[in-house]
């Protein structure tokens, strides 16, 4: 008998922003201005507001950093 090799899948990538941009709910056929940079986009964030992937993820990362900083400084 031949030995079968086990197939190893790569671990799923974790998006630190928590958004799965592959989900069809993040797409619209109607381009609207991004809420962050103002350039037209077909993408929508988790609240269905127009936002580029990069713009939305940068804004979320900034919010996380600000919250962590506030927590470390005893403001929360």
- Within the chain, strands assigned E span 27-33, 40-43
The predicted-structure confidence for 18-65, as pLDDT tens digits, reads as follows 678 888 888 999 999 999 999 999 999 888 999 999 999 999 899 888
Nearest to 27 by CA among 14, 43, 12: 43
pTM of the full structure:
0.66
Spatial distance between the Cα atoms of 17 and 61, rounded to a whole number of angstroms = 7
Task: Report residue 69's pLDDT band, with 50, 70 and 90 as the boundaries.
Answer: confident
Spatial distance between the Cα atoms of 28 and 12, rounded to a whole number of angstroms = 26
SS3 (DSSP) at 50: strand
pLDDT at 8 exceeding the cut of 80: no
Ranges of each domain in the chain: 24-72
């Amino acid at each position: 008998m031949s030995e079968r090799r086990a197939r190893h899948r790569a671990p799923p990538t974790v998006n630190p922003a928590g958004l799965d941009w592959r989900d069809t709910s993040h797409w619209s056929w109607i381009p609207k201005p991004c809420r962050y940079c103002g350039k037209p986009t077909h993408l929508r964030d988790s609240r269905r507001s127009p936002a580029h992937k990069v713009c939305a993820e940068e804004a979320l990362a900034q919010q996380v950093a600000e919250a962590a900083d506030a927590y470390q400084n005893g403001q929360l």
